[in-house]
């Protein structure tokens, strides 16, 4: 994987909708905080995939959060 060195001292976090299971969705987001990435993905899922969120229990959402945390940590 190519690693670009950015001027910004803050790390960037990137996540795509594909990472959380939407194979046919091209949405992705990059921010400087892991929390912002998760918020943005959830906000996106809310309007783009409402049926996906509606079908998830609280426990499943928590599980997805955890999965995202792990992905964000491993990508650092």
Applying CB under 5 A, does 20 fall inside the site for Zn ion? no
Within 10 A of 20 (CB to CB), how many other CB atoms are there? Answer: 20
Cβ nearer to Zn ion, comparing 17 with 37: 17
Long-range interactions of 47-50: CB distance < 8 A, separation 24+? 48/17, 49/17, 49/22, 49/25
Query: What is the footprint of Zn ion within residues 21-40 (CB under 5 A)?
Result: 22, 25, 27
Applying CB under 5 A, does 17 fall inside the site for Zn ion? yes
The site map against Zn ion for 50-69 (x = CB under 5 A) is: --------------------
């Amino acid at each position: 994987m190519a690693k670009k060195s950015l001027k910004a001292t803050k790390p960037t976090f990137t996540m795509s909708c594909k990472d959380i299971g939407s194979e046919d969705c091209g949405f992705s987001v990059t921010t400087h905080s892991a929390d912002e990435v998760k918020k943005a993905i959830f906000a996106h899922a809310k309007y783009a995939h409402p049926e996906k969120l509606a079908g998830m229990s609280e426990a499943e959402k928590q599980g997805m959060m955890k999965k995202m945390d792990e992905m964000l940590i491993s990508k650092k």
